[in-house]
């Protein structure tokens, strides 16, 4: 039987074009979400944390091809345990905002209180702006 342990959301922007946060340093990870989950009541080797998120980006005019990397880390910094990563090339021919959605899981997560998850974004070139919406959901469950 599956049991819910914890569920939280990290939301920086609820609406389209409600933020304007430039990614100013090339290939330097920038935090877009961070949450702490209580996994202490989960069964050892049977705890899973699932996450899903959306970030919306805008590229500047005449921007060359730009790669976006999203990484989910178990921990507070990039030196934690990497549990997920995905990359995507932004469409340089699209003038409007571009939506990137992702989902993944951390199987056999540790059964301790206050397990932090951090989502980072980085771009291969400057000229990319986070414009919103921006939201990440985390849900922890355990079998048995």
pTM reported for the whole predicted model: 0.95
What's residue 65's pLDDT?
Answer: 82
20 neighbors 131 (Cβ within 8 angstroms): yes
Token digits for 119? 């989502």
What's residue 49's pLDDT?
Answer: 99
120 neighbors 32 (Cβ within 8 angstroms): yes
The residues spanned by each domain of the chain are: 10-43+51-104+112-136
Which H or E element spans position 94?
Answer: none
What's residue 136's pLDDT?
Answer: 99
pLDDT tens digits, residue range 113-136? 999 999 999 999 888 999 999 999
Between the two ends of the chain, the Cα-to-Cα distance in Å is: 5
- 10-43+51-104+112-136 maps to which CATH number? 2.60.120.660
**What is the pLDDT averaged over residues 93-100?**
92
What's residue 61's pLDDT?
Answer: 80
pLDDT tens digits, residue range 49-58? 999 999 999 9
Q: Could you say which DSSP state residue 97 is in?
A: -
The burial of 93, by beta-carbon neighbours within 10 Å (0-12 exposed, 13-18 middle, 19 or more buried), is given as: exposed
- Residue 90 pLDDT more than 90? yes
**What is the pLDDT averaged over residues 104-110?**
98
Residue 14 three-state SS: coil
pLDDT tens digits, residue range 7-66? 999 999 999 999 999 998 888 999 999 999 999 999 999 999 999 999 999 998 877 889
d(CA 138, CA 106): 10
The whole-chain average pLDDT of the chain stands at 95
Q: How far apart, in Å, are the Cα atoms of 136 and each of 11, 40, 47, 79? A: 6, 22, 19, 21
Strands 21-23 and 128-143: antiparallel
**What is the pLDDT averaged over residues 69-82?**
98
């Amino acid at each position: 039987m599956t049991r819910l342990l914890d569920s939280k959301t990290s939301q920086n922007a609820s609406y389209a074009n409600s933020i304007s946060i430039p990614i100013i340093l090339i290939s330097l990870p920038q935090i877009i979400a961070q949450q702490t989950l209580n996994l202490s009541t989960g069964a050892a080797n049977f705890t899973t944390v699932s996450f899903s998120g959306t970030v919306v980006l805008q590229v500047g005019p005449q921007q060359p091809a730009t790669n976006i990397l999203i990484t989910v880390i178990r921990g507070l910094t990039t030196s934690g345990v990497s549990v997920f990563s995905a990359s995507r090339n932004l469409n340089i021919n699209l003038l409007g905002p571009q939506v990137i959605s992702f989902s993944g899981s951390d199987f056999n997560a540790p059964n301790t209180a206050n397990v932090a998850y951090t989502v980072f974004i980085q771009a291969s070139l400057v000229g990319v702006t986070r414009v919103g919406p921006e939201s990440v959901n985390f849900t922890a469950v355990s079998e048995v």
